[in-house]
Amino acid sequence: MDKYRLYNVTKDIYEYVISNVLPTTLPDNPLDTIDLAKTEIMVRDIKAWDVEESAIVAPLALYKSLRVNAIDRRTEELILEGHPYGGKQFAISPEAHRDTADVEIYIASAAYPIVVSTLDNTEQVSLADSTEAGAFYASMFTTKRGHIDSGNVLKNSINTAIDQTAGDLIVDNR
C-alpha cells in the first residue's frame, strides 16, 4: 500500500489516502473533485502497522478504508456507464450534479427539441417537449442516485463491521 496526497479542488485542500491503487475519489468526500495532476505518493510500500494518523491506524480501520475506497471507485464506474432511456444508454451529464430545481427551470425554459447523443455517440434522441425532457432527466437522476445510495449502504455496512471476517461477507455485486 502507498500513502497518497490528493488535492481536493472542491475544498481547496490536500487530503491523504492509503490505498493499493491510485485513488480516484476521496473516501470521506466521494463527490468532491480531485486534481490528479497534483496527486503524489508520499510513502511507498507501507504496512498497516507503520501508518500514523494522529496515532497508529488499527488494521481494521485500514481494511475498512480500503474497502470504502473500492466501493467509491465502483460507484464512479457505474456512473460513467450512464443511464438508460428509450432502450439506449446516455451519459450522466453535468445536469445530474445540479439541484433538481435548476433542472426543472432548464426544462421549462429550453428550446425544443433538445437533441442528446447516446453514451457512445453513435445515435441521437430528440426530446420533443418538457414531458420527454423531464422523463430523460428523471432517468439520469434516478440512476445516479441509485448508484450513490447503494454504495452508501455498502460503505455503512463495511464501517459497522466488527472485524475483517464480517467485512469480507459484504460483497459489492452491483
Question: What local confidence, expressed as pLDDT, does residue 98 receive?
Answer: 61
In degrees, rounded to 5, the angle at the alpha carbon of residue 85 between the alpha carbons of residues 102 and 98 is 20
Per-residue pLDDT of 131-166, as tens digits, reads: 999 999 899 989 999 999 999 999 999 999 998 889
Q: Which residues on adjacent β-strands are paired with residue 35? A: 7
pTM of the model: 0.63
Kind and range of the H or E element at 116? strand 114-117
CA distance 16 to 35: 13
For 44, half-sphere exposure in the C-beta direction (CA atoms, 13 angstrom radius) is: 1
Taking only the tens place, the pLDDT of each residue in 15-71 is 888 887 888 887 777 788 889 889 888 888 766 555 554 444 457 888 898 899 999
Question: 111-133: string of b/e by CB count within 10 Å (b at 16+)?
Answer: eeebebebbeeeeebebeebebb
**pLDDT reported for residue 59:** 76
> Is residue 173 over pLDDT 50?
yes
Higher per-residue confidence, 121 vs 28:
121
